[in-house]
Each structure stands twice: as C-alpha cells, then as structure tokens.
Amino acid sequence: MVVVNKGLDNIYVKESKICFIDGENSKLYYRGFSIEELAEKSNFEEVAYLLIHGQLPTREQLSSFNSFLAENRGIEEIMNLMRLIPKTSHPVDMLRTAVSALGMHDSEASDNSRDATVRKALRVLAKAPTIVAAFDRLRKGKEPVKPDARLSHAANFLYMLSGKKPTEREAKILDIMLILHAEHEMNASSFSCSVTVSTLSDMYSAITSGIGTLKGPLHGGANEAALKMFMRVGDPSKAEEFVDEALRRKEKIMGFGHRIYKSLDPRYRVTKPIAAELAKQRGKMSLYETAVRVEDAAIKALAASKLFPNVDYYSGIVFSNLSIDPDLFTNIFTIARISGWAAHTLEYLEDNRLIRPKAYYTGTLDLKYVPIERRS
C-alpha cells in the first residue's frame, strides 16, 4: 500500500550535524550548542561561522571572518537595479530578485568548488543587510547609507536603515534575534535550498529558492501577521473576545503552534522578555499587553490541542520597537537564515543525491484524444 506523506512529515532526507530540535522537551541546538547559551554568550557572526564551518572560531578565525563580511557589504554592482525596482514591491520580492542578480556579478559564479561556494555564501550574507536597508530608504525617497566596516553585522544594519548609530543595547537585541533565526533544521526553506543545490546548481540559486520559500505566511511571514493581529485586537481588554471569535471562525492565531515543537518553542522564551523590555523602554506597553492577553486566552482555549506560541509570536513586537517596518520582518529573518541555508547547502553537497520524490497518480488512463471541433 502506498503511503502519501503530505508535507513530508517525519521523512528524513539526509543525515546532519548542523541542528537538532527536541520538540517534546523544548530544546534547540546549533552544532550541539543550546540556543539559550548562544543567545546569552555568543554573537551572530560567531554563530554564522559555527553553522557554516562546523565549530566555534578562534579569535584569529573570527577576525578574518568578520573582515571578509565587512569588506563585502557593498552592493555597487546592483545599485542601478535597486533604483529600478518598483518602490511598491514587497521587500521579500525585492531581496529575492537582488540576490539572484548578485550571482551574475560574482567573478566566481562558475566555480562550484567548496571554497568558492563558501565565499559566495558569505558574500550574500554580507550584502543582504545592505540590500534590505538600501531598498527601504529608496522607497521612502532617501539615499542609501553606505555600510560602516567598524560596526557589527546587527549594528551596521540598524545604522544603514536609519542613518543613526544604534545604542549598544539595540544592536545587541537585534544580534540576539539574528541568532534565534539563523537556523532551524530541515524547514521548508532549507529543504528548498537543498532541492535546488541537489541538481548541482549554485549557491545564489539555492539562496534565491530559500527566499522565495520563506516569503509565505506559513513560514517567514508569520511574525508580521502576528503583529498585525495584535494591532487588529487594539486593546488588551478585547483579547479574550478576539480569541473566542477567531476560533469560532476556525481562524489561526498567528504565532501559535509549530510542526516540530509539542511544547514551548525555546526561542519564544528568549524573545518574550526582550519584547517586554523594549515595549517598556519605548512606552508602547499596550501592544505588548495585548499580546500577553491574547497569548493567555489562546493557551487556555487551545489546551486540548497543546498549541503554544512560537518564535514569531513576540518577534514582530521586538522588530517594531527597533523601528523596523512590518513588511521588512521576513527580510530580517532572511538576513539571519542565510547562514543556516548555506550550512545545509554545503552539507548536502558533501554527499549529494538529486532530490526526486514521487507523486502517487490518482487520475485516469488511456483516454481517447478528441479533435477540438468535436469537444463540447
């Protein structure tokens, strides 16, 4: 009997040393390190190195890695294209197109050796924040801000976005958020990258595939949807009524539930206190309190289903309080996840096999062709 696994639930496509998720016990590990410890003690550049190279860097290795990223942040080769992209374009569509265009300007585009593939991944990692910030400024009638090689990955992005140097704490908060979003095992976008590279395509094509997959609201767009949901509720006092009505209409509570986690998403536990900190600091407690009340009501209402909030639930509030527009949230996710996509792409290529699943045919056979003039 043929078993059709819609969504490829519980189907393993490779062996991996990159990420482990213990969904029953709310654990997430990057290369064996818990996400909580990395968020507390590490920084995004070090985590990106860990994911791509398989181990924590020495001081010299990290310095070289950071220098490469800083030296490759410029996007002069596609700036004319950036100015031609319609200002009404969704930022994810823009980023997908810009990353694809970068591949045509890379002098190593046709070199698919491992070393060249790593360098191409790092160039995309370096340039993606510049692309996102430049487009946001262009669509608002402002000139892009050139990257500052003295700033960290997170601090430089906030600087290019606003034109002002962020505070140390603001930069650290974004850095933590990038760590939390950097990798998550064989999710839809990582699988998409692996499918693309399994044909022996290139890193730019793989990452472009990942961005297109991440765009969907069931994947990368959920944090934007969650924030809009809180704004629609409008006031903490209306939270319970909103949840009851939404569930009556069989609508999703955005930012709730996860295919893998059967308990709390460990990234949520890191994100919620940061959301509270920023909301209090910015004087925007009402939106945060609305989120808390919706969370409490939803957990109670969904108790039998064992659905809990995930990383998307409070991350939108964090990004919003860092003065990042909601339609940029998925691109922040992308800026981080490029490191995980690169890691999975490189790992898959080590023991490559063309990904070619089957579809179970349920249609009819041996139909007779009818000439067009006789078709009704």
**Residue-range domain boundaries for the chain:** 18-216+328-350, 222-321
Q: What is the mean pLDDT of residues 135-164?
A: 98
105 catalytically annotated:
no
Query: Which residue did the predictor score with more confidence, 43 or 218?
Result: 43
Q: Which amino acid is at 118?
A: V
CA dist 164 and 161 (Å) reads 8
Q: Integer distance in angstroms from the first to the last C-alpha of the chain? A: 38
pLDDT band at 129 (very low <50, low <70, confident <90, very high): very high
Mean pLDDT of the chain: 96
What pLDDT is attached to residue 334?
97
User: Does pLDDT of 259 surpass 90?
Assistant: no
User: Does pLDDT of 72 surpass 90?
Assistant: yes
Q: In CATH, what number does 18-216+328-350 get?
A: 1.10.580.10
SS3 207: helix
Does 18-216+328-350 match 222-321 in CATH topology? no
Contact 49, 61 (CB under 8 A): yes
Contact 154, 319 (CB under 8 A): no
H helix intervals, the chain: 35-41, 44-53, 59-71, 79-84, 91-102, 114-139, 153-162, 168-181, 188-198, 203-214, 222-233, 239-248, 266-282, 285-301, 312-321, 329-350
Provide the angle, in degrees to the nearest 10, between the axes of the packed helices 203-214 and 329-350.
Answer: 140
* Tens-digit pLDDT profile for residues 79-114: 999 999 999 999 999 999 999 999 999 999 999 999
Candidates 2.60.320.10, 3.40.1360.10, 3.40.109.10, 1.10.230.10; CATH matching 222-321: 1.10.230.10
What pLDDT is attached to residue 10?
85
Query: Which residue did the predictor score with more confidence, 310 or 257?
Result: 310
Q: Which amino acid is at 326?
A: P
258 catalytically annotated:
yes
- In the set 312, 327, 344, 366, the catalytic residue is 312
CA dist 306 and 286 (Å) reads 27
Q: What is the pTM of this model?
A: 0.95
What pLDDT is attached to residue 220?
85
| CB proximity list for 197: less than 8 A, separation 6 or greater | 203, 205, 206, 345, 348, 349, 352
Q: What is the mean pLDDT of residues 162-177?
A: 98
- In the set 153, 181, 258, 344, the catalytic residue is 258
* Tens-digit pLDDT profile for residues 303-352: 888 889 999 999 999 999 999 999 999 999 999 999 999 999 999 999 99
